[in-house]
Chains A and B, each alone.
Chain A
């Protein structure tokens, strides 16, 4: 299957700091999704991206669809304790029937 490389694998930050994480692929994608998963729960959709170069915000979260179509970025500004969780990217190729998921970025926010 497709390989999505998500980095960093984990992050420990102080409350109030900004966070950046990214996802890269060897294939070109036509859709990128970003999810957050809390312990014991399913992933919750944060942002969906459909066009190269697209920049979309959802509150303190901003995600971008890379120009090359092979990457995507998620930024969280002014982090708060409830931002703690695992963030996953997911991508869909032009010919694919399924989304491929990254391996997740575990975020810990220290109050």
Chain B
């Protein structure tokens, strides 16, 4: 599609439950990025993919967070055993493949995750 589509828009989970977020990048974009935005508005980089392959995962909390981008499926970000501090808005962005990854990222509208 012409926009990055993120689902669901809101997700509420009890502490300790699993949360799974989805992202469909813009058609033709080869890079997908996940960010976490908390109250201070800072965007914390989590992970990026080049097609199905992990490109950079330096921001991922490895213990409970995982992500995938499989062919012909939306990308996903999964959090196991959620904690209160996981409450945030999670944004997905995508960009074209061209040289080094300096193509502008286009963002979805985010998934607001609330852990109770």
Contact = CB atoms under 8 A, between A and B. Distances in A.
B41 interface: yes
Interface in B1-45: 4, 6, 33, 35, 40-43, 45
Contact of B102 (A35, A92, A100, A104): A92
A101 interface: yes
Contacts of A88: 41, 43
Contacts of A92: 101-102
Contacts of A98: 33, 45, 48, 56, 58-59, 101
Interface in A37-81: 40-45, 48, 50
B104 A48 contact: yes
Contacts of B108: 42
A22 B110 CA distance: 26
Interface in B96-116: 101-102, 104-110
B104 A42 contact: no
A1 interface: yes
A24 to B, nearest CB: 16
**From DSSP, what is the main secondary structure of chain A's interface residues?**
strand
A86 B93 CA distance: 18
A45 B26 CA distance: 14
Given A31-B102, A97-B56, A103 B107 contact: no
A67 B93 CA distance: 28
Contacts of B40: 103
Contacts of A48: 104
Interface in A5-28: none
Interface of A: 1, 30-31, 33, 35, 40-45, 48, 50, 86, 88, 90, 92, 97-101, 103-104
21 contacts: A31-B102, A33-B104, A42-B91, A42-B107, A42-B108, A42-B110, A43-B91, A43-B107, A45-B104, A45-B105, A48-B104, A50-B102, A88-B41, A97-B55, A97-B56, A97-B101, A98-B59, A100-B45, A101-B35, A101-B42, A104-B41
